[in-house]
Amino acid sequence: MSSTNAKSIEYENIVNAQPELSKVEKWKGAAIKNTKKYWPLYLMLVPCIIYFILLCYVPMTGIVLAFKDYSFKEGIWGSPWVGFRYFKTFFSSYDCLRLLRNTLSVGFIKCILEFPFAILLALMLNEIRNLKFKKTVQTITYLPHFLSSVIIVTIMQRVLAPGTGVLNQIIGSMGGDPSTFFLMEAKYFFQILFSMDLWRNIGWDSIIYLAAISSVDQALYEAADMDGCSKLKKIWHITLPSIRGTIGLLFIMGVGGLLSSGFEQIYLLRTPGNMALADTLDTFVVRIGLGSGQFGYATAIGLIQGVVGLVLVVICNKLSKKFTEVGLW
């Protein structure tokens, strides 16, 4: 009797296990079918994977330099281990607070202060009904993004040049002093950086918001028109809530780069007059790493930037999932 029960139980287990096996086989079959069907897309993905492995993940092994007294003779793995010495040196140095203050100021301007302007531009472009005029405005606002930092800074230098610059000529025509050297005065540094970076990126950043706005259900606007809602009310109660997920995602990505102020623009805008404000973590890393050969110290500071950026992304992702129900993961 017991043997019969055991056989029946074993049979039931086999029967119950068959659907699981069939699901696995079905999944494998679907995967193979999709691979055969979309093999050109998977083939196009291979160079991207190779790129990230060779140029992103493999160089990350150089992080170990932050914990070693690196020398060319000994190499990365042969150099002596110094632990957290460079981190202690940085946090106890005079440069620490000044660099953090400058970097956070630049990051606040680029990631936080400029953030709403792209949304506003996308909302205004969405309200334009003349397609020809709309495309013209989009082209004008997109083009600066494709200019290099060298060209943009050169244009800014010409505009702000003392005496011959456009801005100084306007000031002179209004009875002011036309010889102001804006780039040499520290009090104008953040204003110049803000206007230059906003002009360059506002059009490009608005593309994603404009695409998100175009996907909003038009039936909501039709219902709002029937209720007699104004355009501002439709924007506030329909458009913005509908794209809050996109806003949240882009805000997370922006906050992640809060300590990465960007090297090119800051370095090109530096002058003896604004050096106190234009010296950020990125410029400091290049100066002590390539200029002074302190590769371990420079790597330690770069690692601090990466860790802080990761922590900020994790925190903002949790807040975004709480308030917008959308996150990076």
How high does pLDDT run on average in the chain?
85
Distance CA 34, CA 37 (A): 5
Domain membership flag for residue 67: no
Distance CA 7, CA 228 (A): 74
Pick from 20, 42, 57: which residue ends a domain? 57
Q: Are residues 42 and 163 in the same domain?
A: no
Q: Are residues 109 and 39 in the same domain?
A: no
pLDDT confidence tier of residue 326, bands split at 50, 70 and 90: confident
Q: What's residue 186's pLDDT?
A: 87
Q: Is the pLDDT of residue 128 over 60?
A: yes
Average pLDDT on 124-140 reads: 89
Q: Are residues 302 and 161 in the same domain?
A: yes
Domain membership flag for residue 70: no
Eight-class DSSP state of 81: B
Q: Are the C-beta atoms of residues 184 and 271 closer than 8 Å to each other?
A: yes
Domain membership flag for residue 31: yes
Q: What's residue 70's pLDDT?
A: 86
Q: Are residues 50 and 195 in the same domain?
A: no
Look at residues 140, 146, 138, 141 and name the one whose alpha carbon lies nearest to residue 214: 138
Domain membership flag for residue 309: yes
3-state secondary structure (DSSP) of residue 68: strand
Distance CA 259, CA 166 (A): 33
The model's pLDDT over 148-164, given as tens digits with 9 standing for 90+, comes to 889 999 999 899 988 88
Which string of b and e fits 93-117 if b means at least 16 CB within 10 Å?
A: eeeeeebbebbebbbebbbeebeee
Phi, psi of 114 (to 5 degrees): -80, -15
Q: Is the pLDDT of residue 18 over 50?
A: no
Structure-model confidence comparison of residues 49 and 260, the more confident one: 49
Q: Are residues 45 and 121 in the same domain?
A: no
* Separation in Å, CA 65 to CA 78, 260, 297, 311: 11, 20, 8, 22
Q: Is the pLDDT of residue 91 over 90?
A: yes
Domain membership flag for residue 46: yes
* CATH label of the domain that carries residue 253: 1.10.3720.10
Domain membership flag for residue 64: no
Burial degree of 291 (CB within 10 A; 0-12, 13-18, 19+):
exposed
Q: Are residues 253 and 210 in the same domain?
A: yes
Q: Are residues 319 and 170 in the same domain?
A: yes
Range with lowest mean pLDDT among 217-231, 254-268, 269-283: 254-268
Average pLDDT on 135-148 reads: 90
Q: pTM value?
A: 0.78
Distance CA 181, CA 16 (A): 82
Q: Are residues 53 and 89 in the same domain?
A: no
Q: What's residue 209's pLDDT?
A: 92
Q: What's residue 213's pLDDT?
A: 92
Q: Are residues 240 and 288 in the same domain?
A: yes
The share of the chain scoring above pLDDT 70, in percent, equals 92
Average pLDDT on 216-224 reads: 89
pLDDT confidence tier of residue 264, bands split at 50, 70 and 90: confident
Q: Is the pLDDT of residue 222 over 50?
A: yes
Q: Are residues 164 and 313 in the same domain?
A: yes
Domains in the chain: how many in total? 2
Q: Are residues 94 and 236 in the same domain?
A: yes
Structure-model confidence comparison of residues 106 and 2, the more confident one: 106
Domain membership flag for residue 68: no
Residue-range definition of the domain harbouring residue 20: 2-57
Q: Are residues 30 and 121 in the same domain?
A: no
